[in-house]
Amino acid sequence: MDTPVTLAEIKAARSRIAAHLRRTPTLQATALKTPLLPSAQLWLKLECLQVTGAFKARGAINKLLSLPSAQIQRGIVTASGGNHGLAVAYAGWIAQVPTTIYLGHNTPPAKAEKLRQWGATVIIEGAVWDDANRAAIAHAQRDRLAYFHPFADAQVIAGQGTLTLEILEDLPEVNTLLVAIGGGGLISGVALAAKALRPSLRVIGIEAIGAPTLHDSLRAGHIVELPEVTTQANTLAPRKTEAINFNIIQACVDDVVLITDEDMRAAAQWLWFELGIAAELSGAATVAALLAKAYEPAEHEVVCALVCGAGTDGLSG
């Protein structure tokens, strides 16, 4: 597959961003009251412990450090469901440049406040991310600012792909990676690196039933724009992916399965009770796929589930 992102660029991203990020742990889920996989191994890649609380810092910092300094001095702008915004606010703080984050009305107020604490200007626009993103792009074009797309960007995808390099170093025997999907930036980078380094490594995407963006697009054979999204996991909730992500996912992802918000809430509570890990709904999505049996590993399969973001929205109710 011809792709705008190569393994060499993912490796270069790792060196570029290392000084600004944590190398998060890969933890085996053992000594549990209620084991999820009695006949298989479950490991968790804890990106909930990443800077700003999610994997998004990888892509945002790689984007920042890939741009000429003069290009970012006027400021940077993005739209986000929350986690990408935090990562871009962190990038803006590193570069000491004005940073504007557009959010949809479905973004938790606590995330908006955290963005302000990083020094970003927050603008609420539209119901969901897609609406906010249109406003962010118009702002960037009008004022000639650097725009950071949360998933449809080669530098962002390369940054997210650095996760796979760490997992394969920590867990060379892994058979399957479980990855949550919002717009597709994370799984694009993870799957590209996985298939380049080990073509037999399975990559399974997890989406919310209330936002089956890639699931529906893959089955249609082309990008589908959802008429609405109904999931409460707002970081998994764009109505449409983009061509760069769709093409990579179509070529490199083995399957996409669907879970409910209730599945994610149960998984977040399982992670908290069993392991003391506070994952937001989207961060618990991969574990939810196992709890709900949306993905059922074979006997002795070694599974690594990415816990992609921290939060407490799954711990109430």
Longest dimension (CA), the chain: 56
Distance CA 156, CA 159 (A): 5
Common-topology check for domains 7-55+153-307 and 56-147: yes
Top-tier CATH class for 56-147: alpha beta
pLDDT, tens digit (0-9, with 9 covering 90-100), for 61-106: 999 999 999 999 999 999 987 789 999 999 999 999 999 999 988 7
| DSSP code, position 54 | B
pLDDT, tens digit (0-9, with 9 covering 90-100), for 211-237: 999 999 999 999 999 999 899 988 887
Is residue 2's pLDDT more than 70? no
Per the listing, tokens 């000429």 go with 68
Distance CA 280, CA 278 (A): 7
Domain ranges of the chain: 7-55+153-307, 56-147
**With respect to CATH, is domain 7-55+153-307 assigned 1.10.238.10?**
no
**SS3 at position 172:** coil
Q: How distant is the alpha carbon of residue 16 from its chain centre?
A: 19
Is residue 36's pLDDT more than 90? no
> What per-residue confidence (pLDDT) applies to 129?
83
pLDDT, tens digit (0-9, with 9 covering 90-100), for 109-155: 888 899 999 999 999 999 888 889 999 999 999 999 999 999 999 99
> What per-residue confidence (pLDDT) applies to 34?
87
Is residue 280's pLDDT more than 80? yes
Start-to-end C-alpha separation, the chain: 45
3-state secondary structure 236-293: HCCCCCCHHHHHHHHHHCCEEEEECHHHHHHHHHHHHHHHCCCECCHHHHHHHHHHCC
